[in-house]
Each structure stands twice: as structure tokens, then as C-alpha cells.
Amino acid sequence: MSTFRVALSLAHREFTRFMRQPHRVVGTVAQPLLFWLFMGAGFSGSFKPPGMGQISYLEYFYPGIMLMMMLFASIFSSITIIEDRDAGFLQGVLVAPVSRMAIVLGKVLGGTAIAMVQTVIFTIAAPFLGLHLGLASLVPLVAAFILTGVGFSALGFLLAWGMRSTAGFHAVMMVFLMPLWMLSGALFPVTGVPWWLQAVMMINPVHHALNVIRAPFYAGPQTLLADGHYLLSLAVTVGWAVLCLVVSMLRVGKREKGVTPIPVGTAAMQPAE
């Protein structure tokens, strides 16, 4: 119980911090939005995915952009870990009598909350795309946002924890996190790509997260819960989030340990008794 209270307090801090930095708010909202508008408008004319009927690229790309918002929000909240841990706020948290899970959850829930604000606002665009979202569909959609947010934030946490410099984190983001997003099906569908790419995409957990976000726009909760593909994607997304959380917690709990001294004949080697 106290773990959860501490986590909420830390998450609240994360959120307040975000809202106090207007350029961060503008940046994280505007970038995906511009991406969506420009790429959506640009590709709409030529985009004819096999077996997807009359879907415009603007519409196809819409859940992918939501996923990108999740990715960015988690990255921005994890990046502070690197500096905070050795020379900042986290130092004080680490020496406090709180469970290590609370530290991870605080960061992850904070990142998720930041991402949620953006994606929920972005959901307003759905009717303009001709997507009719019933109230019942909002439940699986919001659940999908939370799950994906937790998954990405926990993954970001895990990556950032072992880092010494923010520059290193940018590198990891470009060669690891961005490709995960690119190969999720956010930019192009899984169908019609070379077999090897399809294989990579299918084992990419972010692909399943995208499915979980996309599905509620096209089917009601009952249909979803009867759909094997959806349930598989849901299971993968949940598994990914839980795994990252647990591994993060173990990492935080692990204190750096000195190595065993080399036994050389020094003065320190005199018998103790």
C-alpha cells in the first residue's frame, strides 16, 4: 500500500515537472502531430494497402502516431534518470526507506500519465477521420494507452538505468527504440513486406501494442474479446510491460558491488586474530 502511495507521489512529481516546462509540452505534442499531418497528407494519394479497402493513410497512420507519442513521452521521462541518479533528485529517493518497486512504478506511471494526456487529447481527431468510437470502445482504448505507456516507460527505465551519459541514451533511442516503432506496423502494414521483415515485425512486441491500440477503433469490446489475434497481442503487450517492470525493479535493487581484492602479500593481509 505504501509502495503505491510513494509511487503516486513520484509520478505526480514527474507530471508536474512536465507541465512546468511548456517547451516540452509543445515539443512532444507538436512533433507527432506534424509527422502525422505531413506524412498522412503526402502518402494518402498513393497508399493502397492490400486487403485494407478504402482506408486513407491519414487514418492508417493515426494509431501509429499515438504509439509514437507513447514512445516519446517515455523516452523523455526516462532520460532524466541518467542525471538524476548520480547527481540529482533520485539520489535522495534511493536512500529513502521505500521499496525499489515504488521507485520504478513512480517513474513509469509518471511517464504513462504524460503520454496519456497527449493521446487522449489526440483521440478527439478520430471522428474527423470517420472513425466512430463508441463509449464502450473507450475502455479497451484507454486500457491500451495505459498498457503501452507502462511498457514503453518501463523499457526506457531499463535502458536508462545502466547509462552514464544522455548522449548514449540518444544513440540507443535512434538504433533501438525508433526501429521498434518503425517495425511495429505504424508506418506500413505487415502484409506485403518481405518475409524476413514480416518475421521481425511479428516478434516485435511494439507491433502487438499497436494492434491493441488500433483494434478498438474498428471493433467493439465483445468482438475484440472473441478475437484470437487481439487476445494474443494483448497478452504479448501485458507480458512485455510486466517483464520490463520486474527487470527494472531488480536492476534498481542491485547495488554496485566491489570486486574481490587480488590476494597479494600486502600489509592488509596480516592475520586478523
Determine if 89 is a binding residue for other proteins (CB under 8 A): yes
CA–CA dist 8, 21 (Å, integer): 20
Q: Which stretch binds other proteins (CB under 8 A): 96-104, 107-115, 131-139, 176-184?
A: 96-104
Under DSSP, the state recorded for 193 is S
For the CB of residue 35, give the shortest distance to other proteins in the complex, in Å: 27
d(CA 19, CA 34): 21
Binding segment toward other proteins, per CB under 8 A, in 89-97, 126-134, 184-192, 198-206: 89-97
Binding to other proteins by residue 91, rule CB under 8 A?
A: yes
Shortest distance in whole angstroms from residue 257 CB to other proteins = 4
Size of the site for other proteins (CB under 8 A): 33
Compute the residue count for the chain. 273
Q: 95-122 burial by CB neighbour count: b if 16+ within 10 A, else e?
A: eeebbbbbbbbbbbbbbbbbbbbbbeeb
**Minimal distance, residue 109 CB to other proteins, in Å:** 14
| Sequence letter at residue 264 | V
What would the grid cell of residue 272 be?
A: 586478523
Span 5-24, contacts to other proteins by CB under 8 A: 5-6, 9-10, 13, 16-17, 20-21
Q: How far is the CB of 89 from other proteins (least distance, A)?
A: 5
Comparing CA positions, the residue from 206, 231, 107, 190 lying closest to residue 148 is 206
Measured from the CB atom, the residue of 1 and 124 that comes closer to other proteins is 1
Please report how the helices 22-43 and 100-122 are oriented relative to each other, as an axis angle in degrees rounded to 10: 50
Q: For residue 144, what are the CA distances in angstroms to 57, 195, 214, 221, 243? A: 22, 28, 9, 12, 17
Give the residue from 80, 64, 229 showing the smallest Cα distance to 148. 64
Q: Taking the complex as a whole, how short is the minimal distance between the CB of residue 16 and other proteins, in angstroms?
A: 6
Binding mask 146-185 for other proteins (x = CB under 8 A): ----------------------------------------
In the block, residue with C-alpha cell 517515455: 74
The CB density around residue 259, as the number of other CB atoms within 10 Å, is 5
Q: Is 271 in the site for other proteins (CB under 8 A)?
A: no
95 lies in the binding site for other proteins (CB under 8 A): yes
Q: Which of 46, 194, 195, 257 binds other proteins (CB under 8 A)?
A: 257
Binding of other proteins by 258 (CB under 8 A): yes
Q: Are 258 and 230 in contact (CB under 8 A)?
A: no
Contact footprint for other proteins (CB under 8 A): 2, 5-6, 9-10, 13, 16-17, 20-21, 86-98, 255-262, 268, 272
